[in-house]
Amino acid sequence: MALTEKAEELFLALWILVLIAFLLLRWEMVYLLLPALWLAFVAVFFFKPSMVVELERIVPHNRFLEGTEIDVVLRIRAGERIPSLKIREDLPEGLELIEGSTEWVLSLRKGELRELRYRVRVKRGIHEFNWVELDYRDPFGLFYFKKRFDLYTEIIGVPIIEDVPTPYSTRGTKVTVGPLPSPRVGEGVEFHAIREYQPGDPLKIINWKATARTGRIMANEYESERKVDVIFIVDASYTGELVFDDLIRAAASLMLNALNSGTSFGLLLAEDVPLWVRPDYGKRHFFKCIDFLSTAKPDKNNMIAYQVEHLIRSRFPAKAQLVYFSPLLTEESREALRIMSSFGYNVVVISPNPYTAVEPKSREEELALKLLGLQRKALLRKMAGYGVIIDWDVRKPLKAAVAEVTRA
């Protein structure tokens, strides 16, 4: 609690009045102090709470599809009577308030529990509530209390996931040893080669005849007839900011497709500092990748070609299917596609057309967009030899663009 400016002026006036009465020896002037002293007494003993409160913020859960509307409830319980309390909620920038308010003024009795409710629309990303601010002033305006209470809540807006047909084939073979973590039954395993035993290999793959012949411990290597890995590569350059959310939704949709079909997949989020998630199976891996996509933001990365080449040489599995999400607006992003193709990978490009995300405001703008669209088509035609390129008009569903290519 602290004194307001009004209280400071009042107490200063009282002090000056006492000083004048002492100097003039007019003790009857002291009686003039009694109303002000009585006012201060009432304010201190009846309207100066110690602000003992319990706060709780309630949300249904911590993950929501972008665009979902949710109710947020702020629960407050008073440990004493509080005549008039102003409450202000910390609303993250990524949440759109669509109903109710995040500021309230209320009166609380001792032990009373109140629920304050408002509705927001969730956008993609991590949204952090950090505090609740309480502001109290007594009815006479003598004391005030203002404090931010730490109350942390985190929710994640995940991208909208659509039902999209698979624009690639995952049939192939993998060279592997030991147990095969395949989710599908009946897939064959054939002998591939003999190599030297390595620490950590299971004992059952030791080839004892080759070991006796060479004098070194040798092991069998097998080739499994099962789906190849899929690597999703997302171009996070700021040049594609207009269609970046579309890129993220497309990647999330095809990840769900891979999860449902039992295909192992990895993720390269080509930001300024690239994020690499090695291929794996399962729902936990899926949600891990979705969380990374949910928080992705376009930045000034202009090294995607270098990042792709480095990871191809050091991390990408052999014979993997690459799915590249990029508007292909920069020479760097197009160079990355050429590098993928030069290493012998099968590449499918999901390329949202940024010019279809712009609504022309004049005839001149409409003509300019048509010209840019024609230039883009000519450029994509030249790059068709590097992979299957799906030119996506973002005004239409992705599955329509994929279906057009897969039918051709």
Could you tell me which of 155, 154, 127 has the C-alpha nearest to residue 63?
155
Number of H helices, E strands in the chain: 9, 19
* Paired residues of 270 in beta bridges: 235
Report whether 89 contacts 132 (CB < 8 A). yes
Identity at 83, one-letter amino acid code: P
- Give one DSSP letter per residue of 213-225, joined into a string: HHSS-EEEEEEE-
Residues 337, 387: Cα–Cα separation, whole Å: 8
Token pair, residue 395, equals 């005004």
Parallel, antiparallel, or unpaired for β 113-122 and 189-196? unpaired
Residues 101, 91: Cα–Cα separation, whole Å: 10
Report whether 230 contacts 256 (CB < 8 A). no
- Sole residue written with tokens 């949600």: 287
| Domain layout of the chain by residue ranges | 2-46, 53-158, 174-224, 230-407
* Paired residues of 176 in beta bridges: 222
Residues 41, 143: Cα–Cα separation, whole Å: 12
Report how far apart, in Å, the C-alpha atoms of 205 and of each of 175, 179, 211, 212, 273 are: 14, 10, 12, 15, 40
Helical H segments across 157-303, by residue range: 208-214, 244-260, 282-295
Domain 230-407, CATH among 1.10.1760, 3.40.50, 3.30.70, 3.40.1130: 3.40.50
Query: Within 10 A of 356 (CB to CB), how many other CB atoms are there?
Result: 19
CATH fold label, 53-158: Immunoglobulin-like (2.60.40)
**Predicted confidence pLDDT, tens digits, the chain (408 residues):** 555 556 666 666 666 767 777 777 776 666 666 666 666 665 555 555 567 889 999 999 888 999 999 999 999 998 887 877 889 999 998 899 999 999 999 888 888 999 999 999 999 999 999 999 988 776 555 566 788 889 999 999 999 998 888 888 766 544 433 333 443 333 345 566 788 887 767 788 889 888 888 888 888 876 554 568 999 999 999 888 999 999 999 999 999 999 998 889 999 999 888 999 999 988 999 999 999 999 998 987 678 999 999 999 999 998 899 999 999 999 999 999 999 999 999 999 999 999 999 998 999 999 999 999 999 999 999 999 999 999 999 999 999 999 888 765
Report whether 296 contacts 269 (CB < 8 A). yes
Token pair, residue 136, equals 């109290």
Show Cβ contacts of residue 201 under 8 Å, excluding neighbours closer than 6 positions. 177, 178, 219
**pTM over 0.85, yes/no:** no
Three-state secondary structure call for residue 142 = coil
